[in-house]
Chain A
Amino acid sequence: MQSIISVANLSKTYASGFQALKRIDLEIRRGEIFALLGPNGAGKTTLIGIICGIVTPSEGRVLVDGHDIVTDYRAARSMIGLVPQELTTDAFETVWATVTFSRGLFGKPADPTHITKILKELSLWDKKDSKIMTLSGGMKRRVLIAKALSHQPQILFLDEPTAGVDVELRKDMWQVVRSLRDSGVTIILTTHYIAEAEDMADRIGVINNGDIILVEDKVELMRKLGTKQLTIELQKQLDAVPDALAAHRLTLSADGGNLVYTYDTQSERTGITALLAELNHAGIRFRDLHTTQSSLEDIFVDLVRQDR
């Protein structure tokens, strides 16, 4: 299947001389939710800006559904909706007027039914005649989403859509995103709430210092890089890990009450059975056992730290 967005050898050096993107290659698959993660200043917004036409690339090429973003920008851009990171809205216009304006700007005929539907989905319907400046930050964020959806884009960029949005509305928003995906829209999002990416994304990309350091299927990524830990709560505290168990590379918690065993989920034998047998043999009694799995957040932090 042909990628819907194809980024090749893309670099960006700002006028200040700062190189924000370093020869990036990236393929976005049709219909997926792609989460782009990276620390502050990694280059996420720059990358999105280039694809959407706001930032001029220094080098490289981007195709959107086969249309070059520079030479065939009309075709490329008409497919894309963008929700920017900054809360940049008009002030004196009404919600209805600004969303209608966006649709016209993208060359689509007026469609009040569609706009009504979007405003209702985003819980903005009762605010449709309010001036934007009278709205709260979270509401403004939703106005930006409504603007991006007003022209029925096939690709939606969400640059930190949940910053400053309360829990309830965040859920609603992800509901909207899911239903968009179900209708075939490709979604690229950035977020600093990594749990969100873990929940929502089909694939994850990690960018750091202008380099894409990883692109991976989410499930695969969790399986490959995820580790599991078995925590054994002891009946009696220990001073040190007994020599007999040294081969298992156990760690002892600070209070001496727990033994922690880290194992690889991918290997055929986890070694748990053997470990438990040896514990028994060494006469160490335990009260309870539990396992924890590393989250995407742990994986992300590890990756970025290693890359430094």
Chain B
Amino acid sequence: MTLNLRAIRAIYLFEMARTWRTPLQSILSPVISTSLYFVVFGSAIGSRITEIDGVSYGAFIVPGLIMLLLLTQSVSNASFGIYFPKFLGTIYELLSAPISFIEIVLGYVGAAATKSIILGLLILATAWLFVPLRIEHPVWMLAFLVLTAVTFSLFGFIIGIWADGIEKLQTVPLLIITPLTFLGGTFYSIGVLPPIWQTLTLFNPVVYLVSGFRWSFYGIADVDVGISLAVTLLFLALCLVAVWWIFKTGYRLKN
């Protein structure tokens, strides 16, 4: 099977153009709202909070905040990207084109992940201005960044296909991703929680993402980095299976 590369490129560029058309909303506003955390916790309050495992509080929260942004942005970009053609009806063109679902996924998910990665790197650069950062394992840091962006863009794509109304589309990032991230050790080490909560927290998949990502910065982790990687890959695999199933059945795409 040969992929229709021009089609992937067409979808990818189309989606990226959508981002550049609204730079304020799609780039500037997430960067600024995340940076506010560095200003508040890094400079203002952070100095009064004790270091965690030898890392200043402002620096401690950076990996978690980048994760928060990666997750919410990936999910909302990818889900809106495919939801709109469904909503507007322009999906007819994707369905009647000589392409398979693979090209559609690569185009949409590729564009959403690219945008998240760009945002993640922008936030990282901004954080550098406010808090003392160090990155012990830069290659792993990039690997986690890319892997998370891709996995959650895939997840967002699935949500976009599943959603039959704008409400569902917004519910998932707001009611699931954001709480899980806040409770997933973005602002604290889960070691500070009472034992029962520590155990419960381990059911939160975001814990593994944040922990692994933070390890790539400071070499400290709540859970073993191997487990973090395994959980991320497992979630990626689950999303791939779901996408494959949608592809097989034409779920919510074809009559």
Say whether A80 contacts B96, CB under 8 Å. yes
Please give me the residue from chain B that is nearest to A78 by CB atom.
B98
Residue from A15, A80, A82, A101 in contact with B92 in the complex, judged by beta carbons closer than 8 Å: A82
CB distance from B164 to the nearest CB of A (A): 14
Given A78-B98, A105-B93; A55-B4 close (CB under 8 Å): no
Say whether B99 contacts A56, CB under 8 Å. no
Q: In the complex, A77→B100 CA distance in Å?
A: 11
Say whether A106 contacts B7, CB under 8 Å. yes
Q: Which of B9-17, B111-119, B195-203 contacts A (4 or more CB under 8 A)?
A: B9-17
List CB contacts (< 8 Å) of A92-136 with chain B: 92-93, 97, 100-109
A242 interface residue per 8 A CB criterion: no
A89 interface residue per 8 A CB criterion: yes
Say whether A56 contacts B254, CB under 8 Å. yes
Q: Which of A46-54, A171-179, A211-219, A253-261 contacts B (4 or more CB under 8 A)?
A: A46-54
A74 interface residue per 8 A CB criterion: yes
Residue from A54, A76, A82, A103 in contact with B254 in the complex, judged by beta carbons closer than 8 Å: A54
Say whether A56 contacts B90, CB under 8 Å. no
CB distance from B231 to the nearest CB of A (A): 36
A193 interface residue per 8 A CB criterion: no
Chain A residues near B254 (CB-CB < 8 A): 54-56
Say whether B96 contacts A52, CB under 8 Å. yes
How many pairs of A and B residues are in contact by the CB < 8 Å rule?
Answer: 79
Q: In the complex, A76→B94 CA distance in Å?
A: 14
Q: In the complex, A97→B17 CA distance in Å?
A: 10
Given A105-B10, A107-B4; A54-B88 close (CB under 8 Å): no
Say whether A54 contacts B92, CB under 8 Å. yes
Most buried by B among A86, A97, A107, A147: A107
List CB contacts (< 8 Å) of A72-89 with chain B: 73-78, 80, 82, 84, 86, 88-89
Say whether B6 contacts A108, CB under 8 Å. yes
CB distance from B183 to the nearest CB of A (A): 37
Chain A residues near B96 (CB-CB < 8 A): 52-54, 77, 80, 82
Contact string against B for A residues 126-150, beta-carbon threshold 8 Å, 1 for contact and 0 otherwise: 0000000000000000000001000
Residue from A73, A90, A91, A93 in contact with B98 in the complex, judged by beta carbons closer than 8 Å: A73
Q: In the complex, A238→B250 CA distance in Å?
A: 69
Contact string against A for B residues 224-255, beta-carbon threshold 8 Å, 1 for contact and 0 otherwise: 00000000000000000000000000100011
Q: In the complex, A4→B160 CA distance in Å?
A: 37
Say whether B11 contacts A105, CB under 8 Å. yes
**A side interface size, CB within 8 A:** 36
Say whether A147 contacts B6, CB under 8 Å. no
Q: In the complex, A97→B254 CA distance in Å?
A: 26
B95 interface residue per 8 A CB criterion: yes
Chain A residues near B88 (CB-CB < 8 A): 88-91
CB distance from A305 to the nearest CB of B (A): 30
Say whether B92 contacts A84, CB under 8 Å. yes
Most buried by B among A15, A53, A91: A53
Given A55-B255, A97-B17, A106-B98; A88-B7 close (CB under 8 Å): no
List CB contacts (< 8 Å) of B1-59 with chain A: 4-7, 9-11, 13-14, 17-18, 21
Q: In the complex, A14→B92 CA distance in Å?
A: 17
Chain A residues near B92 (CB-CB < 8 A): 54, 82, 84, 88
Identify the A interface with B (CB < 8 A).
14-15, 49, 52-56, 73-78, 80, 82, 84, 86, 88-93, 97, 100-109, 147
Identify the B interface with A (CB < 8 A).
4-7, 9-11, 13-14, 17-18, 21, 88-90, 92-100, 250, 254-255
List the 7 closest pairs (A to B, CB-CB), nearest first.
Answer: A104-B10, A88-B89, A78-B98, A77-B98, A74-B98, A52-B96, A107-B4
Can you list 30 A-B contacts with CB-CB less than 8 angstroms, sorted by A residue number? A14-B255, A52-B95, A52-B96, A53-B95, A54-B95, A54-B255, A55-B254, A56-B250, A56-B254, A56-B255, A73-B98, A74-B99, A75-B98, A84-B92, A86-B89, A88-B88, A88-B92, A89-B88, A90-B90, A92-B18, A97-B17, A104-B6, A104-B7, A104-B9, A105-B7, A105-B93, A106-B7, A106-B98, A107-B4, A109-B6
